[in-house]
Amino acid sequence: MAPLLPPSPPSGSPRLLKSSSGSEWNVVVQRNVKSSLLLLLAISTVVAFSILYSSRSLTVARTAGEALTQSPLLAALDLSSRMPEDDDDQSDEPAEVVSLTAAASSTDDGPSEAAMQLEEKCDISRGKWVREPNGPVYTNLTCPMLPDFKNCQKFGKDDGHLYWRFVPERFLDVVRGKRLAFIGDSLARNQIDSLLCLLSQAEAPRDVYSDAFDKYRTWHFPAHNFTLMVMWTEFYAHAVPVVGADGKPTSSFDIHLDRLGADWTSRLPGLDYAIISGGNWFFRVNYLWEGGRRIGCLNCAGNDANLTDFGVAYAVRRVVRAAVEGIARCPGCKTSLITFLRTYSPDHFEQGSWFDGGYCNRTAPLQEREVSMESIAWELRRVQREEMRRVRATKRRFGVLDVTKAMMMRADGHPDNHFDSRWRRNGSDCLHWCLPGPVDMWNGVLLQRLAELTPPPAAR
């Protein structure tokens, strides 16, 4: 409220004029001052009530710029640039079908209206990690669901990586009454473990379902009627392990590019949100199939001279294309289903890999100049974004959670050798992410995107 003017002097004040006309004028002035004060008081009261009301009914769906700069949601990331048109996202391949021959001959019609509806308002791949002095939202002591093989503090990891964080807020309010599923490999599970820990600080989830291998699992938050699910798939496509000469499964897979996995696609009906991700299982020796015959391989140089090694980026493009087209055509799915693709999450092994001396013992994020834009991680991110742009216009919507560059800088955020050795003896994990840790940011980005799409709650 504006400060009040000082009171008028009393009648005996020497400042009052002595003349009769001066006295009359002074009375008029005093009356005008009182009227002005009453008017100022009324205006101030109206302004105060307006501010109070607007703060009570503040909507979750702010603009992306406001939310990213005003909320602690993404306070740890310095986002100084708005979303430009990505030069590396321009389409040079088609999308309508998923066969090899058609992929080589059809033309690209450009980004669909449906895909553009979810275009990022702010490019979070452009930014840097900044120090956050407060502790994480949850710890290994406050999250009972935290798996031991990601519980880095319990097994001695320095806690410096915890202070570069994102803090999700109001997630449960945004997803009230909805069903959301993470669809992917162990990094999808990494993200859902993070989300469970974050949300459990507000409401304890109820464990509803788990299959025998813990690959398909469902939780429910009864106070918000929110259902959270995880669905396992290594490749999106139908894939079976290659059987060795001894009759036992090997680490290689036969990947059928023209068939989606039935386990996860059969669970799509009823979902409001689907978060798909993947890419890491393509780096082993795998074989590509189409039309019932083997057409090529991945990482197989020298293994079979008669097979063409198509490369990881090609295979990722094919399965992402098939997955999003399959979701777009899903006959039993809600027309309002929204699908996000979380872009590729890189590893940070140095001097080796899991069991041959590899490690990741850095204690601070990499600088931007230390991150290569020529890496396979960046190429896979480009491929994923291109395929999401190509998805044909349907009543369903598609978007991207672009976390790749942010995670390329977080070489300090992996367990390394700080995990329960019962899971992997004499090994280092530089692929998955510590909890709490940088992976919590993914859910901050997810909340931001969901908040942009969710109508604000009705004022009470």
Q: What is the full DSSP assignment across 121-157? A: SS-TTS-EE----SPPS--TTT-TT--GGG-TTTTT-
* CA distance readout (Å), 213 to 43, 210, 217, 218, 227: 65, 8, 10, 13, 20
372 C-beta neighbours (distance < 10 Å), count: 10
Whether the bond into 241 is cis, omega within 30 of 0: no
Closest CA to 377 of 349, 342, 425, 343: 343
3-state secondary structure of 416: strand
* CA distance readout (Å), 108 to 325, 379, 381, 393: 14, 20, 19, 13
Catalytic residues: 186, 429, 432
- Residue type for position 354: W
- The rounded distance, in Å, linking the Cα atoms of 217 and 356 is 33
First-to-last alpha carbon distance for the chain, in angstroms, is 26
Which residues contact residue 164 at a Cβ distance below 8 angstroms, ignoring those fewer than 6 apart?
76, 129, 130, 131, 132, 365, 410, 438
**C-alpha 333: how far from chain center:** 22
| Phi, psi torsion values for 387, nearest 5 degrees | -70, -35
Question: Per DSSP, what are the bridge partners of residue 183?
Answer: 231, 276
- DSSP 8-state secondary structure symbol assigned to residue 162: G
81 C-beta neighbours (distance < 10 Å), count: 12
Closest CA to 65 of 136, 127, 135: 127
The CA angle 159-164-165, to the nearest 5 degrees, is 105
Give the strand pairing for 179-184 and 273-276. parallel
Which residues contact residue 43 at a Cβ distance below 8 angstroms, ignoring those fewer than 6 apart?
2
Secondary structure (H, E, C), 344-393: CCCCCCECCCCCCCCECCCCCCCCHHHCCCCCHHHHHHHHHHHHHHHCCC
| Phi, psi torsion values for 225, nearest 5 degrees | 50, 45
Question: Per DSSP, what are the bridge partners of residue 210?
Answer: 217
